[in-house]
Amino acid sequence: MNALCIAGGRVLRPDCSVEAADVVVDRDTGNVHDVGEEIAAEYDGETLDAAGGVVMPGLVNAHTHAAMTLLRGYADDKPLGSWLREDIWPAEAALEPEDVRAGTELGIVEMIRSGTTAFADMYFEVPEVAAAVEESGMRARLGHGVVTVAKDDEDAAEDVEESLRVAREFDGAADGRVRTAFMPHSLTTVGEEFLREATATAREEGIPLHFHANETTDEVSPIVDDYEKRPLSYADDLGMLSEQDFVAHGVHTDAEEIELLAARGTSVIHCPASNTKLASGIAPVQQMLDAGVTVGIGTDGAASNNDLDVFDELRDAAMIGKLGADDAAAVPAAAAVTAATAGSADAIGLPGGRIKVGGAADLIVVDFDAPHLAPAHDVVSHLAYAVRGSDVRHTVCDGRVLMEDREVQTLDEERVVETARERAASLVERAE
Ligand SMILES: N[C@@H](CCSC[C@H]1O[C@@H](n2cnc3c(=O)[nH]cnc32)[C@H](O)[C@@H]1O)C(=O)O
Ligand SMILES: [Zn+2]
């Protein structure tokens, strides 16, 4: 066997218990072959040193717009509606395919360096996004975001078609590491007939849906006013809530909508930093978990966060979950860590999220030697409340080492950062 041994660390198991163990990966299948105490010596092959560290599933960023790293810090301190309309959309109108490539690569480098092995991305120029994912060795579910409002019928129909087209064309790319979805931007930015027809097509072809839902009260009231029903019940009537589908945000969801999500098996991606920064509101995460909804964690784009560090995000999820529930016991450490790993992976329908024999070898090693992690009474507590993305030492996806001793192996980090700086500068000039 072509083995990769992650040796000498403590391993976080799917039930959040922690045990001293080596993890042996079969690099040919990309799966975990064995987990056990001091078993590394039984195998030839490459070794990754995990001494003093914790081996855990790679984090999954279940909702982002990776290329928006180019707009990091471009427009801050505004609510969603005016932020999008006054700043972000005008800048995005000037995006060229090469910008999307550069921004996505920058996002990917940031994610690999902070321990993320998979992500779900909604953006433009998806062929560029897919190429970046392929080169980087990460896993992703990708889609073209559709907006039909303020477009004539022909342009609107073409945008919808583009999203279905890329969903068909790129599914299974990068040796199966790329999967796809049909991605209408939101229930208020895509017209009802477009949603109805395209969803029916997606359903026939087994294509999942991903969209922003109930992010702000401004997204809820127009639907309640026009249709006399809550947004998720509107989405359900259009056939948009199935087991394969996942919605971003779900901030303003009432008890009936939460029940509906649970009944349909539709997942919610919680984006606490973006919801805080845009003052969108606090999602009822503990209620969702109690109802049996699969909850994943996403950073959203870097322009509303402003980083792609999922450790930061899961910490925010735990903190804000308590504030929202007015209960310090809400969204405890293990729930937040599980949401950012197994929850996110399940929500976006990709392998990973748990270290188990036969499962995908998407895992990271977190260095626990740092002063801010001493003492370590409770590993899971640290993973939720004290670890930072910069504590990640190695990142492995599909059995391949993407970062070793903080050196990204698959992309040239220096070139990626330099290119992104250049493209961002000229993008902003063109947008003005
Ligand atoms: N084809 C569409 C592009 C949609 S991509 C997805 C969009 O989501 C936007 N976006 C980023 N963060 C958020 C958010 O928090 N809520 C809603 N939209 C967002 C992002 O700027 C991007 O324009 C068009 O013609 O405009
Ligand atoms: Zn978003």
> Which pLDDT score is estimated for 95?
97
Q: How many CB atoms lie within 10 A of CB 1?
A: 14
Q: What is the arithmetic mean of pLDDT over 21-39?
A: 98
Q: How many CB atoms lie within 10 A of CB 197?
A: 13
pLDDT in tens, 333-343: 999 999 999 99
pLDDT in tens, 93-143: 999 999 999 999 999 999 999 999 999 999 999 999 999 999 999 999 999
From the list 359, 402, 373, the residue with the least C-alpha distance to 26 is 359
Q: Which atom of ligand 1 is nearest to the CA of 88?
A: 21
Q: Which of the listed residues 92, 270, 427 should we mutate to test ligand 1's pocket, taking the one with most ligand atoms within 8 A of CB?
A: 92
Q: Look up residue 350 and give its two tokens.
A: 């990709």
> Which pLDDT score is estimated for 432?
83
Q: How far is the CA of 225 from the centre of ligand 1 (A)?
A: 24
Q: How far is the CA of 67 from the centre of ligand 1 (A)?
A: 11
Closest ligand to the CA of 183: 1
User: Does the Cβ of 277 fall within 6 Å of ligand 1?
Assistant: no
Q: Which atom of ligand 1 is nearest to the CA of 271?
A: 15
Q: Which atom of ligand 1 is nearest to the CA of 186?
A: 17
The complex's ipTM works out to 0.95
Q: What is the arithmetic mean of pLDDT over 170-189?
A: 98
Burial class (CB in 10 A: 0-12, 13-18, 19+), 158: middle
The residue to which tokens 């992703």 are assigned: 140
Is pLDDT at 55 greater than 90 in this prediction? Answer: yes
> Which pLDDT score is estimated for 112?
99
E strand or H helix at 395, and its extent? Answer: strand 392-397
Instruction: Give the E-state strand segments of 124-213 in sequence order.
Output: 139-146, 178-180, 183-184, 210-213
> Which pLDDT score is estimated for 378?
98
Q: Which of the listed residues 63, 71, 86, 88 should we mutate to test ligand 1's pocket, taking the one with most ligand atoms within 8 A of CB?
A: 88
> Are residues 123 and 163 in contact, defined by beta-carbon separation less than 8 angstroms?
no
Residue type, 91: A
Q: What is the arithmetic mean of pLDDT over 312-325?
A: 98
Is pLDDT at 413 greater than 90 in this prediction? Answer: yes
For ligand 1, atom 4, the nearest C-alpha belongs to 145
Q: What values do phi and psi take at 93, rounded to 5? A: -65, -20
What are the structural domains of the chain?
3-57+361-408 (2.30.40.10), 59-347 (3.20.20.140)
Is pLDDT at 63 greater than 90 in this prediction? Answer: yes
Peptide bond into 97 cis (omega under 30): no
From the list 344, 336, 328, the residue with the least C-alpha distance to 387 is 336
> Which pLDDT score is estimated for 65?
98
> Which pLDDT score is estimated for 288?
98
Is pLDDT at 200 greater than 90 in this prediction? Answer: yes
> Which pLDDT score is estimated for 357?
98
Q: Is 241 helix (H, G, I), strand (E, B) or coil?
A: coil
Is pLDDT at 359 greater than 90 in this prediction? Answer: yes
User: Does the Cβ of 159 fall within 6 Å of ligand 1?
Assistant: yes
User: Does the Cβ of 147 fall within 6 Å of ligand 1?
Assistant: yes
pTM over 0.90: yes
Q: How many CB atoms lie within 10 A of CB 328?
A: 10
Is pLDDT at 87 greater than 90 in this prediction? Answer: yes
